[in-house]
Amino acid sequence: MAIQDQKSILKNFVSTIPAYLVGLNRVTYLFENLDKLRPEDKIGIRNLFNKLLTSMIERDASDIELGGHGNGEYVWLRIYGKKERVKDFPMFTEDESALIILNLLNANQLKVLSSTHNLDFSYSFLYERKNEEVRFRANAYFELDTLALNMRAINNQLRPIESLEFHPNVIKTMSHTYIKHGLSLITGITGSGKSTTLDSIIDAHNKMDPAHIVIISSPIEYVHKSNIAIIKHREVGRDVDSFKDGVIQALRQDPDIIVIGEMRDPDTILAALEVTDTGHKVFSTLHTSSAVESIDRIIAEVHPSEQERIRNRLADVLISVVSQKLVPSLDGKRVMAKEILIVNHSVKAAIKNNNISEIYLMINQGGPQGMITMEQDLKRLYLNKKISLETAIAYANNKTRIQQNLTAV
């Protein structure tokens, strides 16, 4: 079916929305009448969206934006870190975009989106040129009473853990064969590649560790195929109600390694610490920009009356923190800069004694153990001619420290 025919399906259906309905009521009408779409029209609309995703893949874009007031009827892509409207894509009215988005969802997902005005979900389709299924992480949400969608491509090719340039000691701390229990964190802002790094770590275990790995995520992004390890995937909102429930239930599923997609609330944080205490290896992510901030964030998330207990428990179970950023490289793409904390006796004492501000200096001086500050790694990338001086300074957590480091070159 041609794009114009698929556009006509959209136009004809949204033309049935009564003219007196405005704002949120127009989206509500689409929710309530979606089942009136003929099956062949549903397929046509989905195929139209898959064409947009195919073009997204072929332009090497990481994200697509559809719908919402801010899009101005354009489809937008993020290509090598830069968001831009795509003028050769079809344009869609707010109603047409809403219909495309709703047509991607099942009945349960529609119910959640209607009640909470936000939905995380995964999506996949067959990319015909390579005859392979490609997966996306998606978020549907409301913006000024219009329905919008962000969808991020999930790389089908896992990065070997060696390509992340971790010190051998860092890889040891993350290895279940070397340390059987404890918490390792991958942190960074949205879009910093945390999931990619986590999948590389899982894949490394899958190649050499006869373990049971349970992945709890919202949504599930890369789907691992069991190799040496057996890997189970549980998607929040689909297979389990919450991260906390997934962690608690995992204890009854004989796991060796539990991967928690994100520690986003106090209940999940407490559950993660407790399951680590029971002798399991746990990996998780946080939305923080440094190792020190990650420790502060975990402690601050719980009630003040609980913070002393959590501080001591965290000091006992935390093994390592990798805090990362994707920064623009000189070749027009992006490269990973990272800060790495290995929790040794000095770090444990600093956490327990609430001297967390001292940890940065410990990282700064911990190079022989595999530790590195964000500023040290940005300096390394600059000296290796991978990034510009301006980029090194712009992406540093501590501007004074990076300038001192660079002056010492």
User: Per residue in 383-400, pLDDT tens?
Assistant: 999 999 999 999 999 888
What pLDDT score was predicted for residue 237? Answer: 79
Kindly tell me if the per-residue pLDDT of 303 is higher than 80.
Answer: yes
The domain total for the chain is 2
Question: Residues near 122 by Cβ (< 8 Å), separated by ≥ 6?
Answer: 135, 136, 137, 138, 219, 220, 221, 235
Q: Where is the domain boundary, 107, 134, 154?
A: 154
Mean pLDDT throughout 359-386? Answer: 96
Q: Which two tokens stand for residue 37?
A: 């779409």
Same domain membership, residue 199 and residue 133: no
Residue 55 and residue 25 share a domain = yes
13 shares its domain with 98: yes
Which residue, 326, 392, 262, is CA-closest to 81?
326
Domain boundary among 92, 125, 154: 154
pLDDT at 305: 92
Q: What is the pTM of this model?
A: 0.79
Q: Cα–Cα distance between 105 and 75 in angstroms, integer?
A: 19
Tell me if 405 is assigned to some domain. no
Say how many C-beta atoms besides its own lie within 10 A of residue 151's C-beta: 24
Please give the mean pLDDT across all residues of the chain: 93
Q: Which amino acid is at 80?
A: Y
Domain range enclosing 45: 3-154
The per-residue pLDDT for 406 is: 81
The SS3 call for residue 409 is coil
Q: Are residues 220 and 135 in the same domain?
A: no
The label of the residue with tokens 């890997």 reads 231
Same domain, residue pair 296 and 178: yes
Residues 138-193: pLDDT tens digits? 999 999 999 999 999 987 778 899 999 999 999 999 999 999 999 999 999 888 88
Domain boundary residue among 124, 154, 184? 154
Task: State the distance between the two ends of the chain, measured CA to CA, in whole angstroms.
Answer: 61
- CA–CA distance, 9 with 380 (Å, rounded to integer): 54
Considering the domain architecture, whether residues 150 and 168 belong to the same structural domain is answered as no
Kindly indicate the confidence band of residue 408, based on its pLDDT and cuts at 50, 70 and 90: low
Same-domain status, 281 and 309: yes
Task: Give yes or no: residues 134 and 165 share one domain.
Answer: no
Q: Identify whether the C-beta of residue 14 lies closer than 8 Å to the C-beta of residue 96.
A: yes
In this predicted structure, the answer to whether residue 73 has a pLDDT above a threshold of 90 is yes
387 belongs to a structural domain: no
Q: Is residue 270 part of a domain?
A: yes
To the nearest whole percent, how much of the chain has pLDDT over 90? 79
Beta carbons of 76 and 55 less than 8 angstroms apart: no
Cα distance between residue 104 and residue 43, in whole Å: 10
Closest to 136 (Cα-Cα) out of 61, 47, 201, 231: 61
The verdict on residue 345 lying in a domain is: yes
Q: Which amino acid is at 304?
A: P
Q: Reduced to 3 DSSP states, what percent helix, strand and coil does the chain have, rounded to the nearest 5?
A: 45, 25, 30
On whether residue 45 sits in a domain, the answer given is yes
Residue 218: its pLDDT value, please? 85
Model confidence pLDDT, tens digit, residues 197-234: 999 999 999 999 999 999 999 888 889 999 999 999 99
Inside any domain, residue 400: no
pLDDT of 290 above 90: yes
Residue 391 counted as domain residue: no
φ and ψ of 187, to 5 deg: -125, 165
**Phi, psi dihedral angles at 15 (to 5 degrees):** -70, -15
What's the burial of 251, exposed, middle or buried (CB within 10 Å: 0-12/13-18/19+)? middle
CATH number at residue 246: 3.40.50.300
Number of other CB atoms surrounding residue 206 within 10 Å: 20
Q: Please state, in angstroms and rounded to a whole number, the distance separating the CA atoms of residues 377 and 396.
A: 9
pLDDT of residue 236: 86
- Tokens for 207, please give them: 């190649």
pLDDT of residue 144: 95
CB 213 within 8 Å of CB 229: yes
The predicted pLDDT at position 49 comes to 97
> Are 174 and 290 part of one and the same domain?
yes
Give the integer Cα–Cα distance in Å for 185 and 320: 6
Q: How far apart are CA 30 and CA 40, in angstroms?
A: 18
User: Residue 324 is which amino acid?
Assistant: Q
Same domain, 341 and 200: yes
Residue 116 lies in a domain: yes
Are 248 and 111 within one domain?
no
Looking at the predicted structure, is the pLDDT value of residue 31 above 90? Answer: yes
Domain with 131 in it: what CATH number?
3.30.450.90
Q: Is 264 exposed, middle or buried (0-12, 13-18, 19+ CB in 10 A)?
A: middle
For residues 245 and 253, what is the distance between their CA atoms, to the nearest angstrom? 13
With H, G, I as helix, E, B as strand and everything else as coil, classify residue 56.
Answer: helix
Instruction: Evaluate the omega torsion of the peptide bond into residue 219 and state whether it is cis, within 30 degrees of 0.
Output: yes
For 203, half-sphere exposure in the C-beta direction (CA atoms, 13 angstrom radius) is: 17
- Please check whether residues 276 and 340 belong to one and the same domain: yes
pLDDT of residue 409: 60
> Mapping DSSP to helix (H, G, I), strand (E, B) and coil, where does residue 66 land?
strand
